[in-house]
Amino acid sequence: MKRKWFSWLLRLTVSVLLIGYFVFNLANRYGGIHGAWLQFVHVFSAARPIWLLAALGLMMLGYSLLTLRWKVLLAAQDHYPPYKRLFRFYIMSTFFNNFLPSTIGGDALRVAQSRRDSSRGTMSLMVVLIERLSGLAALMLIAAAGVLVDGPLRTSRNRFISIVILAMTTLAVLAVVLAHPRPASRWLPRLRSMLPIGVGSRIQSAVESLWVYYRRPTSLGACLGISLVFQLNMVVYYWVIARTLNRMPDFADFVLNVPIMVFLLMVVPAINGLGVRTAGFRTLMRFPAAFALAAEFVDLGFRIMLGLLGGLVFVFSHRSRR
């Protein structure tokens, strides 16, 4: 419990410091907090409703794609819940992600619901893990494509991204090889002999649940394909948010930089990514500070709205069960 609250306080501190930094810079430029506020309101109030609706539609499309990916991976495990039920769980998970002091609350809910339906806890957990890893792999592929077009060695940033992609690709290939049934059948018994019985059996169950995807590679291929479409949808989503605020961004620039921003959202501890998006819009997309803050709060507004909707779905679904 203490660890959870420490994590939440750390993320809150990071978000406050990042937002505070950009607000302070804006206040310096426009003669104080009042001037900074007026500039922010001016940018935010100019948001175009048609582009806001387009961004919201892309966000909902993203959740539809995530639901489809989840369904494909569950089907490979011979578990066939209805798409509508899975989509409802995904919407409910947004409430836990947005309003609870945990970064994995939504995933925990989905694992619990899947385990309740299938009575296979390890399988449910590994499916969610594969979802996350396929999303990361798709992110790397898009970033790699952007770097190749821009030139892998052209800038120090591109060189750094190239090294990161190469390192992560090497680790991914190594993990895929080691988890294959043939090599795993040799090292798993040795590992189990060195660990407590309960821990060793859980690790073996987890690895064995992955072997299904070696026998059904088309499921993994479909999962990666859906993840690629989802990540491209994220690029378009953030580009549309920029258009919402009357910016005319270069789409190719977003293809290169959005994967970096999404990766930072995954690794930097912050409340709902608050402040990290502002830093991404400001430093990667080179938005003025007021536009970067406004883009942050457009995105945050959508996420809070969807989280509240998820909370309502969760409450009413529990009432209907009673």
Our separate counts of H helices and E strands in the chain read 13, 0
Q: The pTM is what?
A: 0.86
Task: Examine residue 212 and state whether it is found in any structural domain, yes or no.
Answer: yes
CB 255 within 8 A of CB 145: yes
CB 265 within 8 A of CB 276: yes
DSSP designation for 155: S
Distance CA 79, CA 86 (A): 12
Task: Examine residue 16 and state whether it is found in any structural domain, yes or no.
Answer: no
What range does the domain containing 90 cover? 59-321
Task: Examine residue 145 and state whether it is found in any structural domain, yes or no.
Answer: yes
Task: Examine residue 48 and state whether it is found in any structural domain, yes or no.
Answer: no
Comparing C-alpha atoms, which of 163, 94, 89, 154 is closest to residue 124? 89
Q: For position 168, what pLDDT does the model report? A: 81
Task: Examine residue 30 and state whether it is found in any structural domain, yes or no.
Answer: no
Residue 144 backbone phi and psi in degrees, to 5? -65, -40
Residue 101 backbone phi and psi in degrees, to 5? -75, 60
Task: Examine residue 4 and state whether it is found in any structural domain, yes or no.
Answer: no
pLDDT tens column, 230-250: 999 999 999 999 999 888 878
Task: Examine residue 267 and state whether it is found in any structural domain, yes or no.
Answer: yes
Q: For position 101, what pLDDT does the model report? A: 57
Look at phi and psi of residue 210 and say left if phi exceeds 0, alpha if psi is from -120 to 50, else beta: alpha
pLDDT tens column, 17-34: 988 888 888 888 888 888
Instruction: Look at the chain and report how many structural domains it folds into.
Output: 1
SS (H, E, C) the chain: CHHHHHHHHHHHHHHHHHHHHHHHHHHHHCCCHHHHHHHHHHHHHCCCHHHHHHHHHHHHHHHHHHHHHHHHHHHHCCCCCCHHHHHHHHHHHHHHHHHCCCCCHHHHHHHHHHHHHHCCHHHHHHHHHHHHHHHHHHHHHHHHHHHHHHCCCCCHHHHHHHHHHHHHHHHHHHHHHHHCHHHHHHHHHHHHHHCCHHHHHHHHHHHHHHHHHHHCHHHHHHHHHHHHHHHHHHHHHHHHHHHHCCCCCCHHHHHHHHHHHHHHHHHCCCHHHCCHHHHHHHHHCCCCHHHHHHHHHHHHHHHHHHHHHHHHHHHHHHHHHC
Q: For position 72, what pLDDT does the model report? A: 93
Distance CA 138, CA 132 (A): 10
Q: For position 62, what pLDDT does the model report? A: 93
pLDDT tens column, 261-278: 888 888 888 888 888 889
Q: Two tokens at 147?
A: 């770097």
Along the chain (322 residues), what's the average pLDDT of each consecutive run of 10 residues? 71 87 86 84 85 93 94 88 90 81 68 75 82 86 79 74 82 83 82 76 79 86 92 93 85 84 84 86 86 89 88 75 56
Task: Examine residue 15 and state whether it is found in any structural domain, yes or no.
Answer: no
DSSP designation for 273: G
Distance CA 60, CA 57 (A): 5
Q: For position 249, what pLDDT does the model report? A: 78
Q: For position 239, what pLDDT does the model report? A: 93
